[in-house]
Amino acid sequence: MHEIENQNTAPKAILVGMDTGEYDAELSMNELSELAETAGCEVVATVIQTRPAPEASTFIGAGKLEEIKEQLAILNADMLIFDDELTGIQMRNISDTADCKVIDRTMLILDIFAGRARTAEGKIQVSLAQYQYRLSRLTGMGKALSRLGGGIGTKGAGETKLETDRRHIRSRIDSLRNELKEMEKHRKFITSRRKKDGILTVAIVGYTNAGKSTLFNMLTDAGVLVENQLFATLDVTARALELPDGRTVLLSDTVGLIRRLPHHLVEAFRSTLEETAQADLILHVLDASEPDIEQRMQITQELLNDMNCSDIPQIHVLNKADLVDMPKMNDFETVWISAKHGDGIQALLQTIAQRLPQTAKRMKLCIPYSEGGFLQMLREEGKIFSEEYTNEGTLVDMMVDIKYQKKAEQFQISES
């Protein structure tokens, strides 16, 4: 349970951002507001300052910081949340001047991740990112660290004390990395077994809150947590999915993405994200009702490219189609759906079946009893829907592995 959830009232936060012209600051601040609310904050004000670059000692400049300090008192706010990564010195100076808790975008996301991780691997990945973040800011933070106390920005392994030196933190980082390497070996073994056994995999990726988990539940009845919050699910979940052509594939749901995903998190979750690189097909889920859908598509695509996934076939799944007045035309690469209401799901399943490699084919066969050995091989590597014994031989309706299809064709019977 989060410490923040045990408080009677949500902490009041002022959001602070900077517009340097490098990205859309307003959109980024809107997302920061969602992140803050997901972490349990009440956003009482938003401040965006236009500057060519951050100021080295206070990020926003001494004058602007004094203005914000006055707002803190007027609005009775508890903390400042910055939409950028702060250096240890910046955090210390801001905290000393404003006399309040100060956290940045990365700390906020780490806090949310710490509360969302459920599996052992997910918790280790979050801990690793937290320690890496603290190590890079150990010098200069001073009272800023001690002022954090409990609550947002301090969950999980991030609760390091001031007297903890670099040697201890580096030791923990090395230990966590070793644990992740062992888990990664196990995952790679399972992945290689899937490939060897001919199991096809489909990965759901996309911007957080696009409806990935809702779609995953609709397709597999997995019961994955679905909330209207960023990062409602964090850990990778995989379930079997049966396609209209009779094949069964493995469907996995991955962590959602956001703008400017912090470097620490990308590195810590790289092994999990690389699951996507092993997929045979990627479902790139997009919120069709979002005004900046093209930018969100680009953010996801850039990370997929970084994961060497550019050669994997993709289907763009435009979700929440019920919220927009647009032509819902499906094609080979784009399918319109409403995961919440189930609209377009059958069209999506058919498109998935078409885009995946044809490793197996559904066939109706009458196999002579003299070919009992062949039938047994088909049973072991295929899937039988029905089986009946007749005078001519065994009548089967089944999925036939591609390597047996040529021989199986001599026993194929008419569909009529």
Q: Which among 70-79, 237-246, 276-285 has the top mean pLDDT?
A: 70-79
Q: Do 237 and 296 fall within a single domain?
A: yes
How many domains does the chain contain in total? 3
182 within some domain: no
Half-sphere exposure of 221 (CA within 13 A, CB side): 1
351 within some domain: yes
Please give the pLDDT value at position 318: 93
pLDDT band of 125, cuts 50, 70, 90: confident
193 within some domain: no
CATH number at residue 81: 3.40.50.11060
CATH number at residue 250: 3.40.50.300
Q: Do 383 and 344 fall within a single domain?
A: no
Q: Do 231 and 373 fall within a single domain?
A: no
For the segment 314-332, what is each residue's pLDDT rounded down to a tens digit? 999 999 988 887 666 677 7
Distance CA 192, CA 179 (A): 20
Q: Do 309 and 271 fall within a single domain?
A: yes
Q: Do 252 and 375 fall within a single domain?
A: no
Mean pLDDT of 229-253: 73
Q: Do 349 and 387 fall within a single domain?
A: no
Q: Do 207 and 311 fall within a single domain?
A: yes
Mean pLDDT of 191-206: 79
For the segment 290-315, what is each residue's pLDDT rounded down to a tens digit? 888 888 888 888 888 887 888 899 99
Q: Do 300 and 285 fall within a single domain?
A: yes
User: Contact at 8 Å (CB) between 100 and 78?
Assistant: yes
275 within some domain: yes
C-alpha 158 chain-centroid distance: 21
Q: Which of 355, 377, 400 lies at the terminal end of a domain, its last residue?
A: 355
For the segment 8-39, what is each residue's pLDDT rounded down to a tens digit? 578 999 999 999 988 888 988 988 998 898 88
Mean pLDDT of 183-202: 77
Element (H, E) at 240: strand 237-242
Distance CA 229, CA 249 (A): 29
Domain range holding 307?
199-355
Q: Do 323 and 369 fall within a single domain?
A: no
For the segment 337-379, what is each residue's pLDDT rounded down to a tens digit? 998 888 899 999 999 999 988 878 888 999 999 999 999 988 8
pLDDT band of 139, cuts 50, 70, 90: low
Q: Which of 308, 329, 355 lies at the terminal end of a domain, its last residue?
A: 355
C-alpha 66 chain-centroid distance: 38
Given a cut of 50, whether residue 231 has pLDDT beyond it is: no
pTM above 0.75, yes or no: no
172 within some domain: no
pLDDT band of 255, cuts 50, 70, 90: low
167 within some domain: no
Given a cut of 80, whether residue 177 has pLDDT beyond it is: yes
Distance CA 330, CA 323 (A): 17
User: Which of these ranges, 56-65, 83-92, 131-140, 216-225, has the smallest mean pLDDT?
Assistant: 216-225
Please give the pLDDT value at position 213: 82
206 within some domain: yes
Q: Do 343 and 384 fall within a single domain?
A: no
CATH number at residue 405: 3.30.70
Mean pLDDT of 172-192: 84
Please give the pLDDT value at position 137: 76
Given a cut of 50, whether residue 5 has pLDDT beyond it is: no
Please give the pLDDT value at position 327: 65
Burial 373-401 (b: 16+ CB within 10 A, else e): ebbeebeeebbeeeeeeeeebbbbbbbbb
Q: Which of 154, 182, 210 lies at the terminal end of a domain, its last residue?
A: 154
Mean pLDDT of 41-51: 94
Q: Do 289 and 393 fall within a single domain?
A: no
210 within some domain: yes
Q: Do 13 and 47 fall within a single domain?
A: yes
What percentage of the chain exceeds 70 in pLDDT? 82
User: Which of these ranges, 114-128, 342-356, 400-414, has the smallest mean pLDDT?
Assistant: 114-128
